[in-house]
Amino acid sequence: MLRKFEDAYKHKGLRNGLTDKLRLKGIKDETVLKAINTVPRHFFIPSEFEIHAYEDKAFPIGSGQTISQPYTVAYQTQLLQLLVGDKVLEIGTGSGYQASVLLACGANVYSIERHASLSKQAATILKLIGNQNLNLKVGDGTLGWQEHAPFNKIIVTAGAPSVPKVLFNQLIEGGFLVIPVGNDTKQKMVRITKLAGNEIKTEIFEDFSFVPLIGENGWQ
C-alpha cells in the first residue's frame, strides 16, 4: 500500500509539545526550536512508529540504523550556531530528519550516507517536503566531500573513535565540527573549532549514544 504523507493539525500540535519539551531540556536557540516545530518528523519514521514521532525518542529506520532523538538533533544543531547560507556537511544522512532540520535553519546541506537504501528513502521524503539547497551522496563520509570543501560547519551523526583529520581539513577557518567521540556504546559530544593557522580549539559536552561511524577514518 502506498503511504499517505499528511501534515495535519494533530501533528502540528504534537510538534508544539515536543518543542516545549526541548526548551525545558535546555535547548535555547530559537532558530533550532522553530526548525523542530516546522519539520514533519513523522514523515521520516516507519509507518508503524508514526504515532510516536513526536516523543523524544530514537527509532529504527532500517539497515540496523536509527533516526536520532529530537533532543540530540536539537543539541547538535544548536552547537553548530548556524547562519543562513552556511554550507554544512552532514555525515550520516540516515532518515534525512537532521538534514531537514539543518535546511529549515537556512543551511545549504551536503549529506553523505553509506547505506544506499537509506539515502534513497531520505531523498524521496526530502523531495516531498520540497527542500532545496540539498545534495546527497552515497559513500564513506569519514573521507569528507572534497569537491565541495571547504564547509562552514560539519556535523557527524554517528559515534566516532576519534576526530577524523580529513574532516577538520575541510572546514573553513572559524568553522565548527560537531562530532560524538567515544566507544561503541557511549560518546561525548565534541565541538572542534578551526582557528587561524590551523590551530584547534576543542570543547567537550554531554554524553550521547550513537550508532557507530563506520569507514576508513572511523570504526573498521
- How far is Cα 59 from Cα 50, in angstroms, rounded to an integer? 10
Using CA atoms of 74, 78, 80, 84 in order, give the dihedral in degrees to the nearest 10: 100
- How far is Cα 172 from Cα 183, in angstroms, rounded to an integer? 28
User: Binding of ligand SAH at residue 40 (CB under 6 A)?
Assistant: no
Q: Is 68 a catalytic residue?
A: yes
User: Binding of ligand SAH at residue 113 (CB under 6 A)?
Assistant: yes
DSSP per residue over 48-87, as a string? GGGGGTTSS--EEEETTEEEPPHHHHHHHHHHHT--TT-E
Q: β-pairing, 151-156 with 171-182?
A: parallel
User: Binding of ligand SAH at residue 42 (CB under 6 A)?
Assistant: no
Q: Which stretch binds ligand SAH (CB under 6 A): 16-24, 136-144, 161-169, 192-200?
A: 136-144
User: Binding of ligand SAH at residue 72 (CB under 6 A)?
Assistant: no
Q: How far is CA 25 from the centre of its chain?
A: 19
Question: Which of 97, 110, 151, 208 is close enough to bind ligand SAH by CB under 6 A?
Answer: 97
User: Binding of ligand SAH at residue 142 (CB under 6 A)?
Assistant: yes
- C-beta of 15 vs 114, nearer to ligand SAH: 114
Residues that bind ligand SAH (CB under 6 A): 65-68, 91-92, 94-95, 97-98, 112-115, 118, 140-142, 157-158, 211, 213-215, 218
